[in-house]
Structure 1
Amino acid sequence: MPLVSVIIPAYNAEKTIQKTVASVLEQSLSDFELIIINSSSSDSTLNKISQIQDSRIKLFTYPQANASVNRNRGLLHTTTEFVSFLDADDLWKPDKLEAQYQALQENTEAVVAYSFTDAIDENGNFLRKCSHATWTGNVYPQLLLDDFIGSGSNVMVRRQVFREVGEFDELLTNAEDTDMWLRLAADYNFVPIKKVQILYRVSTNSKSSNILGSEASNLRIINKVFNNVPPTLKNLKSYRVANLYKYLSYKALTVEPGQQKTFHTARFLWMTIINDITIVKKMIIYKAIIKLIIMSILPKQTAKILLENFPKLSDMSTFFGYIKTEF
């Protein structure tokens, strides 16, 4: 029996699926099963997968559904003690499985292992450092503040705990991974691997680019979770909401001129201020307002040239420096 089950939900992933699968097949821990759930892709995803010959691959095709449904479908086919999930456009470093497996073997009280994540663009080029958190043991308070796991492609989990916490919430079309990590952290310990092992691909076609869907799903999760947390943790809600809107403001402003949703971007900035008034003392909020004005009132090409000539004005990554991660 393999040591680890890897689950990849795939839908119309023809541009990335082969590299994603290759990053699994090249793992230093080679004793795994790779379960690919093809969600009735209408492009050449199925053909791309079929070109890869490896006995560890188990391919299943189902009717089209969201990521939660497809992760749950994958769990039905697992046969191992440990499970990892990987989105069809993300990549792993070669030692990801081995390091996380070893961490869970050495820390028997932990049920989740996680690593550092960096963001890459559609061509695989480095964009920015993502979460490099090192919280260990009971990480629930920290995870209530900020989803430091960072993506659905990060963790390794002891499979039996899904019988306790349940499956992925199939009503969520965004942030279903955040919901699951919070449910796990409420009752179980986590252990970190202090190195970058996940490369999270930022794509205009990914579901994470749907900022309104992300807002709705995250607010639903936040409200659900904070309705049930101990009284001593309820004060963290406003910080979590502020963190959400800082992230949404960043996402909304990191698009080409003409692609921005002006009203919603202004609303995200306003909600950031309402939930964290200290942000008005920071230059980033004024840079964001100026950038939004430029993108909204100038012709697209003029705005693009202007922002390219002033890269410090265009760069919104400073928002991440004001995401609260400790209390």
Structure 2
Amino acid sequence: MPLVSIIIPAFNSENTVKETIESVLNQTWTDWEIILVNDGSQDSTLEIVNNINDNRLKIFTYSNGGANASRNRGLSHASGEFVSFLDADDLWTPDKLESQFKALQENPEAAVAYSWTNSIDETGNFLRRGSYITANGDIYTKLLLIDFIESGSNPLIRRAALANVGDFDESLAAAQDWDMWLRLAAQYHFVAVSSVQILYRVSNNSMSANILRQEAASLQVIEKSFSNAPQSLQYLKKYSIGNRYKCLTFMALQRNPSRKQGIIAMKLLIYTIKNDPSLLMAKALLKVFFKIVVMIIFSPEQTQYLITKLNRLLNIESFLGYIKLEVLSINSNSL
């Protein structure tokens, strides 16, 4: 019986699924099985995976149920003592499983090991670095503020812990991975592998590209999580909302430019400032506001040209630096 079960939900993933599976085949740790759940794909996904010759790859086909249902279906077929999820467009570095398994072996009190993440574009080129946050032990408070795990393709999890906290929430249209990590962190310790081992692919066609769906689901997760959090942590709620809106604003401004996207970004920015008025003093706010105005006023082609020509002026990477990773509890007395 394999020690690790890797669950890959795949829906119309013909352009990326082979490379994703190859990143598992190239792992230095080889005691694993792949549970690939074909979620009613209408393209050549099934044909591609059927042509991969490795008896550790097990394929299950269902009618389309969405990513959450696919992960839960995959879990029902998994036999490993440890489980990791991998989206069909993301990649792992060859040492991912071995490093995370070693971390769990060296920290038996931990139930989850996670690594750092970088983003890549649709062609696999480096796009931007992740947050590179290292947190060990009880990470619940910090995870309430920001999802620094950053990807559903990241952690290696003890199967017993997953069984205890329950399935992925199929009522969520997005942010289901953050919800799962929070439920795990509420009961178990985490251990970090301080190395980039997950390559998260940013695609305009991916589920995460729907910003408004991300917004609604993120607010659901925050409400759900804080309804279960102790009273002593309730003061963090508005900071959690503010952080999420900063991330959503950034995401909206990194997609293909359009007037509609600019208007959405403006709405998100207003909610960001509402939840974190200190941003009004931030220098990066001017860049964000200027980029929004450019997207609203100019055509997509003109906006893209200006982004290229005025890169330093329209580069908003520094905006993410205003995410609050820690908030002193003394603030709760004045909220």
Q: CA deviation at 1:153?
A: 0.2
1:251 counterpart residue number: 251
Q: Distance in 1 between matches of 2:110 and 2:128?
A: 29
What fraction of aligned residue pairs are identical, expressed as a percent? 50
- Asked if 1:45 is matched to 2:45, the reply is yes
For each residue in 1:221-246, what CA deviation from the matched residue of structure 2 results, as whole angstroms up to 9, or x when unmatched?
Answer: 10111122111111111111111110
2:177 counterpart residue number: 177
- Conserved? CA contact 1:252–1:260, under 8 Å: no
Gaps of 5+ in 2: 328-335
- Conserved? CA contact 2:7–2:34, under 8 Å: yes
Gaps of 5+ in 1: none
Query: Aligned with 1:203: secondary structure?
Result: coil
Alignment of 1:250-269 (within 5 A): 250-258=250-258, 260-269=260-269
Amino acid at match of 2:309: N
Alignment of 1:1-327 (within 5 A): 1-258=1-258, 260-327=260-327
Query: Aligned with 1:269: secondary structure?
Result: helix
- Conserved? CA contact 1:269–1:285, under 8 Å: no
Q: Distance in 1 between matches of 2:256 and 2:134?
A: 34
For each residue in 1:72-128, what CA deviation from the matched residue of structure 2 results, as whole angstroms up to 9, or x when unmatched?
Answer: 000001111100000000000001001111111111110000001000111111111
Q: TM-score, normalised by structure 2?
A: 0.95
Would you say how many aligned residue pairs link Structure 1 and Structure 2?
Answer: 327
User: Which range moved further: 125-134 or 140-149?
Assistant: 125-134
Query: Aligned with 1:118: secondary structure?
Result: strand
Q: Distance in 1 between matches of 2:240 and 2:106?
A: 32
For each residue in 1:223-279, what CA deviation from the matched residue of structure 2 results, as whole angstroms up to 9, or x when unmatched?
Answer: 111122111111111111111110111111112332643332211111111111111
For each residue in 1:171-200, what CA deviation from the matched residue of structure 2 results, as whole angstroms up to 9, or x when unmatched?
Answer: 112010000000000010000111010000
For each residue in 1:108-162, what CA deviation from the matched residue of structure 2 results, as whole angstroms up to 9, or x when unmatched?
Answer: 1100000010001111111111131111000000000110100100001100122
Q: Which runs of 4+ in 1 moved over 3 A?
A: none
Q: Distance in 2 between matches of 1:302 and 1:139?
A: 44
Q: Distance in 1 between matches of 2:262 and 2:320?
A: 21
Query: Aligned with 2:131: secondary structure?
Result: coil
Query: Aligned with 1:312: secondary structure?
Result: helix
Q: TM-score, normalised by structure 1?
A: 0.98
